[in-house]
Amino acid sequence: MEKLMIGGGRPLQGVVTISGAKNSAIALIPAAILAESEVVLDNLPSLSDVAVYSEILEELGANVTWSGSQMRIDPSRIVSIPMPNGPVKKLRASYYMMGALLGRFKEATIGLPGGCNFEPRPIDQHIKGFEALGATVTNEHGSIHLYAKELRGAKIYLDVSSVGATINIMLAASRAKGSTIIENAAKEPEIIDVATLLNSMGAVIKGAGTETIRIEGVTEMHGCRHSIIPDRIQAGTYMIAAAATRGNVLIDNVIPKHLEALTAKLLEMGVRIEELDESIRVIGQAKYENADVKALIYPGFPTDLQSPMTSMLTQAEGVSVLSDFVYSNRFKHVPELVRMGAKIRVEGRSAIIEGSKLNAAKVKAADLRAGAALVIAGLTVEEGITEVTGVEYIDRGYDNLVSNLRHLGADVWRESEQIEE
């Protein structure tokens, strides 16, 4: 079993360069299925989710070459074989196989997705979208089977602005006959990134990034080259880590606009922030004000930074309230932070956080961002070593975490623990 060992008490100092966005990458890779020739993705993050996706595409018959931050995908020999189990169960975003295979082959069988299950994560809006496009969707022993004689454009109003459903509908509708309109679409930057790739592949998508997206179906799509946007959640995690350790860090290769909700909240707490064109400098301070944070859909404060922000708020004076309006039960990090001395109680969809010093402890990450929260908490501890297990979750979303943190002066390393039979 792998664990992260963290000797805290050192302010982070220096420069960290952010890689491409996980939540873009794991939609862009399956999007390549829709092309008839090679798709080249640059600025790809080196994450376990990306490795799993490349395995999935290879199983379907694609030729995938992944070298450094570039992936070349030749989808010309792909076939839509059923994938009820195996790698599709290892990540959440395997649901994009449904939209991509349905778009290209009009048929797919994909096991229900895995990933971070901090609470039930339904896919009813994805299914509603596929059905509106003319597909028959059945759940066969935990696998979703999709079939359409022909996909036809439709007007689809999403009950919730779901990122996954918006992208999945864009994938399938790109190869449908006629026009599709998605109303109440999600507006996250990753949706614009996927639409940009699809348009470069020959799709006709307008309005991505707004609540109304129009897609004109096309009969053929081709290869292209695309550079993935920077990971705003990774960037935000380093911003919080810099502030929480009272450090001074330049976070490079970011789109500052994507981080406005976090920047505004950190400024409100008293953190000094300098925004440049493609980087953000975070200068920590000795004291922070308490703050109330509401996690909402984009452009609101991202739910994926809610757990890291909980650790930051333990460093503020007074009482803060952090509520999650996207995932009301996303608080698996809280009992672990409490083991580290944090004074937090959960009431409904809110965590009430009283500022306090944290101490070293053995803690377990139950999901990806809970892991990030525990790492940040460990970095603030003044004495002793914090041990974080559940590293496999952290590896889903943070590439080079240990080397990046060490480069910033942190005392962090990875250890393997032998489990006795």
Ligand X SMILES: CC(=O)N[C@H]1[C@@H](OP(=O)(O)OP(=O)(O)OC[C@H]2O[C@@H](n3ccc(=O)[nH]c3=O)[C@H](O)[C@@H]2O)O[C@H](CO)[C@@H](O)[C@@H]1O
Ligand Y SMILES: C=C(OP(=O)(O)O)C(=O)O
CA angle 56, 110, 232 (to 5 degrees): 60
Distance of CA 55 to the CA centre of its chain: 19
Residue 163 near ligand X by CB under 6 A: yes
Phi, psi (degrees; rounded to nearest 5) at 194: -65, -45
Q: How far is the CB of 84 from ligand Y (least distance, A)?
A: 20
Considering only 115-123, 215-223, 378-386, 387-395, which stretch makes contact with ligand X by CB under 6 A? 115-123
Instruction: Give the side-chain half-sphere CA count within 13 A for 16.
Output: 35
Can you tell me which of 190, 193, 304, 395 binds ligand Y, judged by CB under 6 A?
Answer: 304
Can you tell me which of 234, 279, 303, 314 binds ligand X, judged by CB under 6 A?
Answer: 303
Q: How far is the CB of 24 from ligand Y (least distance, A)?
A: 11
Helices (H) and strands (E) in the chain, counts: 13, 23
CA angle 13, 393, 198 (to 5 degrees): 90
| Ordered alpha helix ranges (H), 95-214 | 96-105, 124-132, 163-173, 189-200
Report the chain's terminal Cα–Cα distance, integer Å. 13
Distance of CA 172 to the CA centre of its chain: 21
Phi, psi (degrees; rounded to nearest 5) at 408: -85, 5
Which residue type sits at 6?
Answer: I
Of 144, 116, 134, 128, residue with least CA distance to 184: 128
Q: How far is the CB of 133 from ligand X (least distance, A)?
A: 15
Q: Check the annotation: does 122 bind a ligand.
A: yes
Residue 237 near ligand X by CB under 6 A: no
Which residue type sits at 252?
Answer: D
* Site string (4-43) toward ligand Y, x via CB under 6 A: -------------------x--------------------
Can you tell me which of 80, 94, 162, 380 binds ligand X, judged by CB under 6 A?
Answer: 162
DSSP state of 301: B
Q: How far is the CB of 29 from ligand X (least distance, A)?
A: 12
Which residue type sits at 32?
Answer: A
The DSSP H or E segment spanning 331 is none
Residue 116 near ligand Y by CB under 6 A: yes
Name the residue whose CB lies closest to ligand X: 164
Q: How far is the CB of 276 from ligand X (least distance, A)?
A: 26
Residue 258 near ligand X by CB under 6 A: no
Q: Which does 239 bind (CB under 5 to 8 A by kind): ligand X, ligand Y, none?
A: none
Q: Check the annotation: does 152 bind a ligand.
A: no
Q: Which does 148 bind (CB under 5 to 8 A by kind): ligand X, ligand Y, none?
A: none
Burial of 164 (0-12, 13-18, 19+ CB in 10 A): buried
Q: Which does 3 bind (CB under 5 to 8 A by kind): ligand Y, ligand X, none?
A: none
Footprint on residues 363-392 left by ligand Y (CB under 6 A): 368-369
Q: How many residues bind ligand X (CB under 6 A)?
A: 20
**Is 116 one of the annotated active-site residues of the chain?**
yes
Of 95, 87, 88, 105, residue with least CA distance to 33: 105
Set 116, 156, 373, 401: catalytic member: 116
Residues 44/50, Cβ–Cβ less than 8 Å? yes
Q: How far is the CB of 167 from ligand Y (least distance, A)?
A: 12
Footprint on residues 50-109 left by ligand X (CB under 6 A): 92-93
Binding site for ligand Y (CB under 6 A): 23, 92-93, 115-116, 304, 368-369, 397
Task: Report the catalytic residues.
Answer: 116
Binding site for ligand X (CB under 6 A): 23, 26, 92-93, 121-126, 160, 162-165, 186, 303-304, 326-327
